[in-house]
A and B are shown apart, each in its own frame.
Chain A
Amino acid sequence: MNIGVVVFPGSNCDHDCQHVFRDVLAQDVTMIWHKETSVSGLDAIILPGGFSYGDYLRTGAIARFSPIMQAVKRFASEGGLVLGICNGFQILLEAGLLPGAMLRNRSLHFICRETYVKVENAATPFTHLCNPGQVLKIPVAHADGNYYTDPVTLAGLQANAQVVFRYCAADGSMTPESCPNGSLDNIAGIRNAEGNVLGLMPHPERCAEMVIGNEDGRAIFLSMIASWERNKSVGVR
């Protein structure tokens, strides 16, 4: 599988994503400079975490104008897999590929810590190797991860099983304390209606190897690889 990792000015989890796919999971990885305009030949696209354009103005607000984003939108509309992690999720929101917006964390601080997320939808290309309701331990690291949207959109997300991950306690119980940032409905990750675009605030690339203590995040990447292989065998993207 050939994974494209977009490098915006200020991306800083681009190398981490490259490392996991290339060195841990033995896939091909192409780093795509944000000024490029084509994503041809790629089987999935990652928008990595970081501080694109320094998070100046608003997280993701400037990155959505990067030339590459037109190609990413096209790729998504054709059904290609797009995964936005942290700042990548924020960019997907600003670009309109996912609904809603990010507010400042409830504590007003940047927060870096382990969180637990519950897999609310295990029937997506990003989660199908997980069990429904499975709890994954994945760290967060952000200042603006407090997901917000209007009640109608929220109801739509819930009704269409677009909420893929919710923050929870280690035992899977859904409590306000288990949510690190004040997100609406403990939302940690959502997908688009078609199911091929996922954004999440936690960093699965930071927990994909036992040498750094945890590999719960692998399930997401392995799901992507498996679903691409399955689709390839039946001749669709």
Chain B
Amino acid sequence: MPPITKDLVAQHNLTDEEYQKIVEILGRGPNLTELGMFSVMWSEHCSYKSSRLHLKKLPTTGPRVVQGPGENAGAIDIGDGLCVVFKMESHNHPSFIEPYQGAATGVGGILRDIFTMGARPIALLDSLRFGELHSSKNRHLMRGVVSGIAGYGNCMGVPTVGGEIVFNDIYALNPLVNVFCLGVAHKDKIFRGTAAGVGNPVIYFGSKTGRDGIHGATMASDSFDDESEQKRPTVQVGDPFTEKLLLEACLELMERDVLVGIQDMGAAGLTSSSCEMASRAGNGIDLDLAKVPRREPGMTPYEIMLSESQERMLMVAKAGKEEECLAICRKWDLDVAVIGKVTADGILRVKDEGKVVAEIPAKALADEGPRYERPYQPPSYQDMLTNLNYDAVPDVKDANAALLALLESPTIASKRWVYEQYDHMVRTNTMVRPGSDAAVVRIKGTNKAVAMTVDCNSRYCLLHPYEGARLAVAEAARNLVCSGAVPIGLTDCLNFGNPERPDIMWQFVMAIEGMKDACEHFQIPIVSGNVSFYNETNGLSIYPTPMLGMVGLIEHSERTTTQWFKEEGDEVFLLGTSREDLGGAEYLKVVHAREQGSPPYLSLDKEKALHECVLSLIHEGLLQSAHDCSEGGLAVTLAECCMSGAEQALGAVIRLTRGRLRKDAILFGESQSRVVISAKPVHRQAILDRATQSGVPVEVIGSISGNRLVLYVGDEGSTEKVIDQPVATLRARWAFSLERTLRES
């Protein structure tokens, strides 16, 4: 083994102080294997060393919480003895280097997190961020990521039921791939990653260990530069077929009384799974590397301990149940071997060929990594971003053209080209498919359904990270509410730049504060999550993107509501108030090429009142449709109500009160806490009364008729027709835009 030099320590992304701490812990200098193990476990990716102090502020408890943060995934009680297990994770860096495999293994990793807990995965959603599609590189990244997600998820038989995609050149050199997965488990049969019971066997199963992905966690904790594509060998290669076998084998093992604990080998592979399981139980583990199934001969202990080969698991079985475990794994044609046992001394001891090659207190490796209270302060340019001089932005002249431009812009356009490549129906639970505010899947054996959404407007977060994070929570909850679901839990995937920069750290801290305040107000616990720092290339950071995956419960599945208009003659209502909220609006970007201003105003009280109002209207069966008003404002929302139904397109005649607002603000402004609903005329009075009782402003704005969207803006006596388009035209622009962009340019 080479001597441990300063250079070698630096190559492992460890600072001098961190190295000194390792020497203190061991009472001696580490050997190369130990240095490697510390470097991955103490990487930002695994240790959360910059974020942990702040993550602690988030609300993580509640009456429904079965498992909060700290395990492979969070779990929330949905009644009937069941719980939903969910988590969201990023795979940004690998997806930039190798889009297909990067995205595919991202899906594989999050799936393992879910079924490791004893839950069968029933839904996937993805949040993606790419640069604009005029660049062939961005188109290549998008095609690769979408087919990677499809390739893995489809083969696994887990439907990809929803998601969202935003295009902005800030993501051109650092695309985001965030994958959310939800599974269902019996509440009393949740499995955890614990190595309890001294003497119990430690069993490896799944794929063989190869040299791929060594130092993936370290790579994910570093910024990128022009040389990054040379890091391709650190991206793992996924094998969804083996993962499918692993899934079925795990669930079969869990039905028997054989398991003590189980954890997947994700980032930092065998090192993280073994030391974390040992640490949780306060035990140690002895591992014998000679028994680890390997893909090739000649692998060193360093390589075996750090490999991030996919589709591998570690379980601690009950003593005496080894043979039963081995038999089940072999039935599913998986590699399997007893590679160690649980010890009482708290040490992770790794042997190879009879020699001890690493000996580290498990707790030190897993939980005693460095913690940093990094300095933070707002960037000098922050005021410039929020300062929007409205006088310099002329009001809209041709609203028809502006609407069509927005509908066609890839961020707002239909994502049909994407979601048709994902099997979104397998497992026959999908009640609301991709393309509504939230995806809804029924829970078999009950009359319940679960709604899910992934959301984050990162431009709002750039302009004001605290407000942006509050807005993200509010919008996610509103999406669920519009589908008839009560929000019950949240997972987050916090994508930021380099935390060693005070301005980035400021964005992070502000975003956490915003999420905290909003979640506390709505009483939505955050039960799992992931932090992805260092999302910057050549010193340019992404917009702060605290992505949220929120889950809601629909007690009676027949009350599930979708966003599109249902029937000619129905009346259309607007709940909430329109304000002059053009700051950060998609309209400003698409039409005026500006990404500035203060994000929209949000009152958490008003938002909460709106949620309660919409839910009670839906529960009483008064609504035909409900659609959250977000990117593109009321005009885009109404167009989506008209054209997004799979079966039919319906026109509407709408009159919007202008008051003192600019025309573009009323049409395309993104005021929060607004929902467009439609209902049979007979329910009109009940709806008006209910909204008034709830303290939610309400207005009848028109009715569903014909096959054109006609929009008047003005006040009594002086209205102006500003939009008049056949729904077929709107739909043609919107539905096929992505396809056109990808094929034509």
Chain B 235-259: CB-based contact to A (< 8 A → 1; otherwise 0) = 0000111101100000000000000
B421 proximity list for chain A (CB < 8 A): 109-112
A55 proximity list for chain B (CB < 8 A): 155, 241
- A51-B444 CB under 8 A given contacts A110-B423, A206-B425, A206-B428: no
Contact assessment for A9 and B150 in the assembled complex, using a CB-CB cutoff below 8 Å: no
Contact assessment for B425 and A12 in the assembled complex, using a CB-CB cutoff below 8 Å: no
Q: With A and B bound together, what is the CA distance between A49 and B157 in angstroms?
A: 9
Q: With A and B bound together, what is the CA distance between A158 and B137 in angstroms?
A: 47
The answer to the question of A229 belonging to the interface, with a C-beta cut-off of 8 Å to chain B, is: no
A12 proximity list for chain B (CB < 8 A): 155-157, 244, 426
A13 proximity list for chain B (CB < 8 A): 157, 426
Contact assessment for A112 and B155 in the assembled complex, using a CB-CB cutoff below 8 Å: no
Closest Cβ of chain A: how far from B452's Cβ, in Å?
A: 16
Closest Cβ of chain B: how far from A184's Cβ, in Å?
A: 22
A15 proximity list for chain B (CB < 8 A): 427
Band of interface residues on A = 20 to 34
Selecting from A38-46, A69-77, A146-154, A208-216, the interface stretch reads A208-216
B147 proximity list for chain A (CB < 8 A): 109-110
Q: With A and B bound together, what is the CA distance between A13 and B428 in angstroms?
A: 9
Q: B154 contacts which of A53, A141, A208 (Cβ < 8 Å)?
A: A141
Chain B 420-461: CB-based contact to A (< 8 A → 1; otherwise 0) = 111111111111000000000010100000000000000000
Q: With A and B bound together, what is the CA distance between A20 and B427 in angstroms?
A: 11
Contact assessment for A9 and B333 in the assembled complex, using a CB-CB cutoff below 8 Å: yes
- A9-B332 CB under 8 A given contacts A19-B444, A54-B155, A110-B154: yes
Q: With A and B bound together, what is the CA distance between A113 and B646 in angstroms?
A: 11
Q: A141 contacts which of B240, B242, B426 (Cβ < 8 Å)?
A: B426
Closest Cβ of chain B: how far from A128's Cβ, in Å?
A: 24
Q: Which residue of A lies closest to B739 (CB)?
A: A107
- Number of residues on chain B facing chain A (CB within 8 A): 32
Q: Which residue of A lies closest to B447 (CB)?
A: A211
A213 proximity list for chain B (CB < 8 A): 431
Closest Cβ of chain A: how far from B297's Cβ, in Å?
A: 25
Q: With A and B bound together, what is the CA distance between A143 and B557 in angstroms?
A: 32
B428 proximity list for chain A (CB < 8 A): 16, 19-20, 205-206, 208-209, 212
The answer to the question of A203 belonging to the interface, with a C-beta cut-off of 8 Å to chain B, is: yes
Contact assessment for B241 and A112 in the assembled complex, using a CB-CB cutoff below 8 Å: no
Q: A9 contacts which of B244, B420, B646 (Cβ < 8 Å)?
A: B244
Q: B425 contacts which of A51, A203, A209, A211 (Cβ < 8 Å)?
A: A203
Chain A 133-166: CB-based contact to B (< 8 A → 1; otherwise 0) = 0000001010100000000000000000000000
Looking at B151, B155, B429, B442, the one whose CB has the most chain A CB atoms below 10 A away is: B155
- A212-B430 CB under 8 A given contacts A51-B154, A139-B425: yes
Q: With A and B bound together, what is the CA distance between A9 and B450 in angstroms?
A: 29
Contact assessment for A113 and B431 in the assembled complex, using a CB-CB cutoff below 8 Å: no
The answer to the question of A50 belonging to the interface, with a C-beta cut-off of 8 Å to chain B, is: yes
Chain A 90-115: CB-based contact to B (< 8 A → 1; otherwise 0) = 00000000000000000001111110
Closest Cβ of chain A: how far from B451's Cβ, in Å?
A: 15
Contact assessment for A10 and B646 in the assembled complex, using a CB-CB cutoff below 8 Å: no
Contact assessment for A110 and B241 in the assembled complex, using a CB-CB cutoff below 8 Å: no
Chain B 149-162: CB-based contact to A (< 8 A → 1; otherwise 0) = 01100111100000
- A51-B241 CB under 8 A given contacts A9-B333, A211-B557, A212-B428: yes
- Residues 186-237 of A contacting B (Cβ, < 8 Å): 203, 205-206, 208-209, 211-213
Contact assessment for B425 and A10 in the assembled complex, using a CB-CB cutoff below 8 Å: no
Contact assessment for B426 and A54 in the assembled complex, using a CB-CB cutoff below 8 Å: no
Closest Cβ of chain B: how far from A18's Cβ, in Å?
A: 11
Q: A212 contacts which of B245, B420, B423, B431 (Cβ < 8 Å)?
A: B431
Closest Cβ of chain B: how far from A66's Cβ, in Å?
A: 12
Contact assessment for B423 and A112 in the assembled complex, using a CB-CB cutoff below 8 Å: yes
A16 proximity list for chain B (CB < 8 A): 426-428
Closest Cβ of chain A: how far from B443's Cβ, in Å?
A: 11
Q: Which residue of B lies closest to A23 (CB)?
A: B444
- Residues 16-51 of A contacting B (Cβ, < 8 Å): 16, 19-20, 23, 49-51
Q: Which 4 A-B pairs have the closest CB atoms?
A: A12-B157, A54-B241, A51-B155, A141-B423
Further contacts, 5 of them, CB under 8 A, given A16-B427, A112-B425, A206-B425: A20-B428, A51-B241, A54-B244, A110-B421, A114-B646
Q: Could you tell me which B residues sit within 8 Å of A by CB distance?
A: 147, 150-151, 154-157, 239-242, 244-245, 332-333, 419-431, 442, 444, 557, 646
Q: Could you tell me which A residues sit within 8 Å of B by CB distance?
A: 9-10, 12-13, 15-16, 19-20, 23, 49-51, 53-56, 109-114, 139, 141, 143, 203, 205-206, 208-209, 211-213
**Subset of 15 A-B contacts with CB under 8 Å:** A10-B241, A12-B156, A13-B157, A16-B428, A19-B428, A54-B244, A109-B150, A110-B421, A111-B420, A113-B420, A141-B154, A143-B154, A206-B425, A211-B557, A212-B428
